[in-house]
Structure formats: structure tokens, C-alpha cells
Amino acid sequence: MDKKVLDYLLVPLGLFIMMAYHAWLLHRIMKHPNRTVVGITAINRRFWVRAMMEDVSKTGVLAVQTLRNNIMASTLLATTAITLSSLIAILMTSENGNQSSLFIFGDRSKFGFSVKFFAILVCFLVAFLLNVQSIRYYSHASILINVPYKKISQHRHHHQAMAEYVASTVNRGSYFWSLGLRAFYFSFPLFLWIFGPIPMLLSCFVLVFVLYFLDVTFEFGWAVEASDDDERKDEEVGSAMTMSIGGLNS
């Protein structure tokens, strides 16, 4: 019974640590995008889309090749996720699980193992769906980015609106890809949960520590300085990020 209590206490604590970190990261992306990797790359993708659409006759091939590389990356993750989901499903239906291993510290009941495998399965299925959505947006963007919008309309406002829409589409594809990759990160503690709640909790601490250095940018040259003008820029970029992330629901 004591071992089951560890599962009931440590596993929710580990999940809470992961969720709390990502809630803090989302708040930082919304409020200070220039100080996160996600925010900076989203801003630069908008600049890239506008540069590619300035003259599609010269940059169209480069834009399509770049988006094709992103589609291939999403396809690889989606294929990996659905393959691992199939393997986990086979393990769940297998009656020959090694539930008496000496390396497992925690709940060894059949129901406990079913819950662990089911959590991993859901994690990979979510990763698959997110990467499929990423492929969808990248596929749309590969067509839209080559539209000669300057020849279609002479209105400058229409040009800006078209470039902004394509940039938002590319950013949505990137957001879904990042979320799909994040689902793979979440699967690591779930895998270690098979060996007990203590390895799972420790992996959550290590993963949050590593992700912090991957998600947060430090003061490099053009990064945001602590000034009133930069705070105003943060607010403007933050509002643009809010519109882009809000588009994920569309």
C-alpha cells in the first residue's frame, strides 16, 4: 500500500511541476515575446514571409523548399508518434508484461501498468494530431506564399493584410510543430513512470531545468533592454503574438 501512496503523491507533483512551468512559459511568451525563443522565432518568421513575398519570381523556390523541409520534419514526428502509439497499444494488450521486475519501485498492479501505458499512448496520439495540423498549415502556406499579391491588387493595405495572413499561417504551423515536439518531451517522464514514481518526479525536475535554457533567451545584442521604449515594443509584439496564438483555434 505504501508504494501506491508514492504514486498518488509524487506523480501528480511531477505533472504539476511540468504544467506550472508551461503556464509560466505561455505567460512570458504573451507578455515578453522578445525574451523567449518562441517569440523571437515567430517575429523573424513574419519578416521572412514578407521578404519571400516581395518578389515571388526570385524567392518562390526558396520559400517552398524551406516550407517543404518543415513539412518533412513534421511528417517524421507524426510517423514516429503513430508508430510508438502502435507499439504501446501492443504492450497494453500483451499478457506477458514484466510486472515483477526488481527495477520497478511503485505500483506493480495490472491496473497501474494499464494506466501508465494508456498515459503514454495518449501522449503520442496528441503528438501525432498536433504534427498533422502542422503539416496542414505548412501545406497551405506553401501555396499562399507564392501568390503574386502585388499584381492582383494595387492597394497597400491589401498587400499588408495578405502578407500578415501568410505569416500567421506559417506561425500556426510552427506552433503546432512545437506543441507536438513538447508532447514528445512529456512522454519521457511517463516512460520513467513505468519504473516508479521517484524516477518520474526526478525526470520532471531535470526536464524543466533543461527546457528553461531551451525556451528562454538571454541578453544577446539586439535583445530587449530594460527601458520604457522596449517595454512599449514588448506590448506591441505581445499583442501580435496574442492574435497569432488565438488563430490556433480557427
The model's confidence at residue 226, banded by pLDDT at 50, 70 and 90, is: very low
When pLDDT is averaged across residues 182-193 and rounded to a whole number, the result is: 91
Tell me if 241 is assigned to some domain.
Answer: no
Q: Report the percent of the chain where pLDDT is more than 70.
A: 75
The residue range of the domain holding 62 is 2-235
At position 52, the amino acid (one-letter code) is: M
Tell me if 248 is assigned to some domain.
Answer: no
pLDDT of residue 160: 77
The structure's pTM equals: 0.78
pLDDT in tens, 81-99: 988 888 888 777 665 444 5
C-alpha separations of 98 from 31, 84, 88, 198, 199 in Å: 48, 19, 14, 19, 18
Which is higher by pLDDT, 103 or 69?
69
C-alpha separations of 146 from 68, 152, 169 in Å: 13, 12, 13
In sequence order, the β-bridge partners of residue 216 are 36
The model's confidence at residue 155, banded by pLDDT at 50, 70 and 90, is: low
pLDDT of residue 239: 56
Residue 101, pLDDT > 80, answer no
Tell me if 243 is assigned to some domain.
Answer: no
When pLDDT is averaged across residues 138-158 and rounded to a whole number, the result is: 76
pLDDT in tens, 50-78: 888 887 777 778 888 989 999 999 999 99
Domain count within the chain: 1
Which is higher by pLDDT, 38 or 248?
38
Tell me if 146 is assigned to some domain.
Answer: yes
Is residue 85 within 8 Å of residue 121, measured between CB atoms?
A: yes
Tell me if 48 is assigned to some domain.
Answer: yes
CB burial readout 225-246, b (16+ within 10 A) else e = eeeeeeeeebeebbebbeebbe
Residue 231, pLDDT > 50, answer no
- C-alpha grid cell, residue 12: 501528480
Residue 229, pLDDT > 50, answer no
Q: Burial, 108: exposed, middle or buried (Cβ in 10 Å; 0-12, 13-18, 19+)?
A: middle
In whole numbers, what is the pLDDT of the chain averaged over residues?
80
pLDDT of residue 173: 94
pLDDT of residue 225: 42
In whole angstroms, what is the distance from residue 129 CA to residue 123 CA? Answer: 10
Tell me if 242 is assigned to some domain.
Answer: no
Tell me if 249 is assigned to some domain.
Answer: no
Tell me if 250 is assigned to some domain.
Answer: no
Is residue 104 within 8 Å of residue 195, measured between CB atoms?
A: yes
pLDDT of residue 131: 95
